[in-house]
Structure 1
């Protein structure tokens, strides 16, 4: 079936989907890690060397475009892109210990670290949810279900690929927005590949799925409620972060790096075929799915108003141990905007 992943490889089978949907619980020992190398290494000719850890799913495409188009080289940087941890919150120790200078995660993963007072800062965004594209994730119910709105989820069971992340947050947020009580929902974690069957069989009343699995579920007859992450435009789905210490000590290098990524974002939005070519090389999705699926709309900006809503509500729902303030979240050179 063309919507299903290719043969198993070591990479995640998700493409152009919110990295945000992976559970990103930060283990307590991580907070005890170092504050990050204060300077970056350099090649023999003095060129600053940067290692960046990408996600195993997707949304990393601008990094490879910056490399392929020579934007990193033009900025005078020697950049190595490596696949990071499957659970992107576990990229934080590598950055804190100086093994990498930048790493990818999503808003949930980053905020869980910030809530534990980890000295990390968002350097730039990559992708935000937007109502300018069709949903690539969302709440699904079986055909003929009595559930028609998010408020109907009160007292029901919802299946997620992982608990405590942004997928749980968005369901709770939309239930509350619809006048329901999110505390009355039972969430259960299931393998991503089992979500469709759970909804069809009645094991759960609804599921939240994404990417190729979301598309396959709709093709299999499941019906959608709402528009997933797109119902809160501006949720940060992919960011690059570093340590406060590194960004302070290497401001010029960091600005060159994020500037090159910004150029790549512009290029990616104008050249979707370049994005698809990267997906075919670095993800395990079928070529048929990659060719037919819409390409993300990349965006370097971080909407601080929406982020504050996410922080406040995640803390209220018990998904964050504290509500970190803005000065514990953003690098002072990060491309932030006030909107919402």
Structure 2
């Protein structure tokens, strides 16, 4: 009888740390909004979900997928989601709107967004200036794919109003829009880009999957996919935020150690768009642009502000009012790296 009590007591003690940890979370159920979850841009989110990293931290995470990052942001603003997995630059625009958002763990060290033209509708393409009056497909209007396209257009002397932007999503719809000639160019991400390029349905013009090209395009390190949330959420739920970051840092590190074969064993079959070999190629192309440890580069926020100011007169006019220290923090990431030094 005594021995049975000792065993039961030992089991209860063994279970205690995880129970206590979960109890310390201010909010165990968290909803994350994302725009195009199948994209490599958001791969750390999928890895953290599929490998159970969120559960390891005591979290019950629901991920809601939208057609683009701007719609994911709307879900958090509207209160139907807690956190956005989306583009870093949205934090700048939201601060200027008086709705402060803060990024708290990085997924992408570069935007991974590729602008390319349709060889069928633009066989004589010579420069970005040729896109004037053309239709450009983006994941959703106002999303990071739209913002990067605007930036590349501006460098060629074109305004956003000089083209027509069409929301085509981030999957088979985007591929079909290019192949059918509904759009003349596309700003999108992998695996869509690799699929189109391999089939001859895309001529690449600007490729920010490459770290050196991204730095050249933006004039510095350009932080991309990240988790960001209203400042109020982080203030009320610091332990929950830390748990989210712990999971994402582990996912970032897993990706940097993984090969293409490892990734296709983890992601849902639907992500592969019917071609495993092309998915692996897309992963290898995008891998260098994922964050190694979740940290935001010191010069990144200023690069993002400069990029937005160059294409948005309102942001340019208010540039001096932006408090860059308020749009991101590395505090949670530092703790996560101490907890998981090797992932």
- Please state how far the C-alpha of 1:124 moved relative to its aligned partner: 1.2
Equivalent of residue 226 in structure 1, options 186, 197, 205:
205
Q: Which has the higher contact order (CA 8 A, sep 6+)?
A: 1
Distance change (3 Å), C-alpha of 1:290 and 1:219: closer
- Please state how far the C-alpha of 1:312 moved relative to its aligned partner: 1.4
Q: In the alignment, is the contact (CA less than 8 A) between 1:160 and 1:190 conserved in 2?
A: yes
- Please state how far the C-alpha of 1:188 moved relative to its aligned partner: 3.2
Is the helix fraction higher in 1 or 2? 2
Secondary structure at the residue paired with 1:171?
A: helix
**Equivalent-residue separation in structure 1 for 2:43 and 2:118 (angstroms):** 32
- Please state how far the C-alpha of 1:257 moved relative to its aligned partner: 3.3
**Equivalent-residue separation in structure 1 for 2:21 and 2:295 (angstroms):** 34
Secondary structure at the residue paired with 1:221?
A: coil
Quote the residue 1:326 is aligned against. Answer: 324
**Equivalent-residue separation in structure 1 for 2:161 and 2:76 (angstroms):** 38
Equivalent of residue 181 in structure 1, options 137, 158, 166:
158
- Please state how far the C-alpha of 1:63 moved relative to its aligned partner: 3.9
Equivalent of residue 213 in structure 1, options 176, 188, 192:
192
Q: In the alignment, is the contact (CA less than 8 A) between 1:127 and 1:238 conserved in 2?
A: yes
Q: Which runs of 5+ in 2 are unaligned?
A: 1-18, 216-220, 335-343
The alignment's C-alpha RMSD in Å is: 4.0
**Equivalent-residue separation in structure 2 for 1:146 and 1:327 (angstroms):** 46
**Equivalent-residue separation in structure 1 for 2:91 and 2:146 (angstroms):** 16
**Equivalent-residue separation in structure 2 for 1:198 and 1:66 (angstroms):** 31
- Please state how far the C-alpha of 1:225 moved relative to its aligned partner: 4.2
User: Is structure 2 residue 103 aligned with structure 1 residue 106?
Assistant: no
Distance change (3 Å), C-alpha of 1:43 and 1:196: same
Equivalent of residue 305 in structure 1, options 290, 302, 305:
302
Distance change (3 Å), C-alpha of 1:80 and 1:320: farther
**Equivalent-residue separation in structure 2 for 1:165 and 1:306 (angstroms):** 18
Distance change (3 Å), C-alpha of 1:121 and 1:136: closer
Greater displacement, 326-335 / 255-264: 326-335
Quote the residue 2:251 is aligned against. Answer: 264
User: Is structure 2 residue 226 aligned with structure 1 residue 236?
Assistant: no
- Please state how far the C-alpha of 1:270 moved relative to its aligned partner: 0.2
**Equivalent-residue separation in structure 1 for 2:194 and 2:279 (angstroms):** 12
- Please state how far the C-alpha of 1:197 moved relative to its aligned partner: 7.0
Alignment of 1:1-340 (within 5 A): 46-48=23-25, 49-55=28-34, 56-58=36-38, 59-63=41-45, 65-66=47-48, 72=54, 77-86=57-66, 87-92=68-73, 95=76, 101-107=82-88, 109-129=90-110, 137-142=114-119, 145-153=123-131, 155-161=132-138, 162-178=140-156, 180-182=157-159, 185-189=162-166, 191=168, 205-230=184-209, 231-233=213-215, 234-272=221-259, 273-280=261-268, 283=271, 285-286=273-274, 288=276, 289-295=278-284, 296-297=286-287, 298-299=290-291, 300-302=294-296, 303-316=300-313, 324-331=322-329, 333=331
Q: Which runs of 5+ in 1 are unaligned?
A: 1-41
Distance change (3 Å), C-alpha of 1:156 and 1:45: closer
Q: In the alignment, is the contact (CA less than 8 A) between 1:139 and 1:207 conserved in 2?
A: yes
- Please state how far the C-alpha of 1:266 moved relative to its aligned partner: 0.9
Distance change (3 Å), C-alpha of 1:198 and 1:246: closer
**Equivalent-residue separation in structure 2 for 1:292 and 1:52 (angstroms):** 31
Distance change (3 Å), C-alpha of 1:81 and 1:64: farther
**Equivalent-residue separation in structure 2 for 1:63 and 1:307 (angstroms):** 22
Structure whose CA Rg is larger: 2
